Amino acid sequence: MCTKDLFSRPATTPHRLSEATFYLPGFALRNEASLLIDIARVLEQSPLRHMQTPGGFTMSVAMSNCGELGWVSDRKGYRYTTMDPLTNAPWPALPPCMQQLATEAAALCGFAGFMPDACLINRYAPGTRMSLHQDKNEQDFSAPIVSVSLGVDAVFQLGGLQRSDKPLRMGLQHGDVVVWGGEDRLRFHGVLPIKPQQHPLTGADRINLTFRKAG
Ligand code: SIN
Ligand code: FE2
């Protein structure tokens, strides 16, 4: 179910970036093969698509979801749904290996018992970015956000609680995990435009998973 990679690294100690924000370098490398298989299976059922913003623009990042709830954006706004509007079927179930990764990462950072019910899958092609935003469509801000980076490198922007706070820039590589919760739960964050590069497992793309307790 959750195959550990043959050359898996020893357990990572989280680096505490602030009161309740943690960086776990390479934490997801322990099951990278299982993860990529799980993601491919999810995307066969609920394919990546470019959603519309409420203002009528097309998002450059392609998205899909798995879990009981999925994040969607369209002309009506941002929200979570139980059904994939593209397929009119429920979002694919959260694969146990993915859930376990998120729960374990959260626990290492002091968020014991984190049970995500939503996982947003973002695919960044070269040149795409995600502007600074807060994750605030969830019901329950007591649960953290667990973010897993796969594929090519990115520069992550970790802002403060105000949009005007100058963001910290940090490089994120394949397998890196970032967790923010508690008093940092509503930190602004974003991703700078992805530079053209190649990764042996994802080609030119970056894949990001964000696990949330949305309902
Ligand atoms: C997100 O905030 O949904 C994605 C963040 C990332 O891609 O690292
Ligand atoms: Fe986000």
User: Buried (b) or exposed (e) across 25-47, using 16+ Cβ within 10 A?
Assistant: bbbbbbbbebbeebbeebbeebe
Domain positions in the chain: 15-212
- Nearest ligand, measured from the Cα of 148: 1
Residues with beta carbon inside 6 Å of ligand 1?
Answer: 120, 122, 130, 147, 156, 189, 191, 208, 210
8-state DSSP, 45: H
**Chain segment 120-155, per-residue pLDDT in tens:** 999 999 999 999 999 999 998 999 999 999 999 999
Kind and range of the H or E run holding 208 = strand 206-212
Kind and range of the H or E run holding 150 = strand 145-151
What is the atom index within ligand 1 of the atom nearest the CA of 154?
8
* Residue 68, burial from CB neighbour count under 10 angstroms (0-12, 13-18, 19+): middle
pLDDT of residue 88: 98
Q: Which CATH superfamily is domain 15-212 in?
A: Alpha-ketoglutarate-dependent dioxygenase AlkB-like (2.60.120.590)
CA nearest to 109, candidates 11, 3, 8, 1: 11
Q: Whose CA is nearest to atom 7 of ligand 1?
A: 208
pLDDT of residue 13: 85
CA of 119 to the centre of ligand 2 (A): 11
Its pTM stands at 0.96
pLDDT of residue 9: 56
pLDDT of residue 12: 72
* Residue 60, burial from CB neighbour count under 10 angstroms (0-12, 13-18, 19+): middle
* Cβ-based neighbour number of residue 9 at 10 Å: 12
pLDDT of residue 160: 97
CA of 190 to the centre of ligand 2 (A): 7
Q: Supply φ then ψ for residue 145, to 5 degrees.
A: -105, 130
Q: Which residues of the chain have pLDDT under 70?
A: 1-11
3-class state of residue 70 by DSSP: strand
pLDDT of residue 1: 53
pLDDT of residue 3: 67
CA of 66 to the centre of ligand 2 (A): 16
